[in-house]
Amino acid sequence: MSQKIVVGFDGSESGRAALTFAVEAARKNGGELLIAHVLEWSPYSFLTPTELEERHKRRGEELERAEKAILAPVVESVKASGVAVSTALRYGHIAETLISIAKEEGADQIVIGRTGHSSLSSRLFGSVAGSLAQAAPVAVTIVP
């Protein structure tokens, strides 16, 4: 049966490990891959007036940078390995956004790395892996 796997990818070491794992899994059972990159964002954060003014511009720059520097390079290599691949680039709470992508796309599985970039904040506010394990509607694989 063909599977659709959402892999959360942030460009980090452990993100890379998750991606490798997901590519392998997809190739084994002929599944397809959706590489999701979520830019951490809360609509309830506090910004200075200057930041408000420039927000729309910065958002464009951030999306472009993420597309170019994080998604584009890995998409090429995944394609080369013969797995069907698409991408998603969104703003939001990382775990919540991964869940909503999985729901929208009718994915069967979410794959993520154990730790992303900021381990201090995850200790304070709970990690993405922890939140997903509790709230995801589909199977979650956490790659060490």
Question: Hey, CA dihedral for 73, 17, 131, 51, is it positive or negative?
Answer: negative
Which member of 1, 28, 52, 106 binds other proteins (CB under 8 A)?
Answer: 52
Question: Is 85 in contact with 34 (CB distance < 8 Å)?
Answer: yes
Chosen residue from 3, 16, 17, 62 binding other proteins by CB under 8 A: 62
Binding map of other proteins across residues 69-108, x = CB under 8 A, - = no contact? ---------------------xxx-------x--------
The answer to whether 33 and 75 have CB atoms below 8 angstroms apart is: no
Kindly list the strands in the beta sheet with 139-143, ordered across the sheet, starting from the edge strand earlier in the chain: 85-92, 32-40, 4-8, 109-113, 139-143
Contact range with other proteins by CB under 8 A, out of 29-37, 43-51, 69-77, 130-138? 43-51
Which of the stretches 48-56, 79-87, 117-125, 132-140 binds other proteins when contact is defined by CB under 8 A? 48-56
Task: Report the half-sphere exposure of 43 (CA within 13 A, side-chain side).
Answer: 1
What is the contact surface with other proteins in residues (CB under 8 A)? Answer: 39, 41, 43-50, 52-57, 59-60, 62-63, 90-92, 100
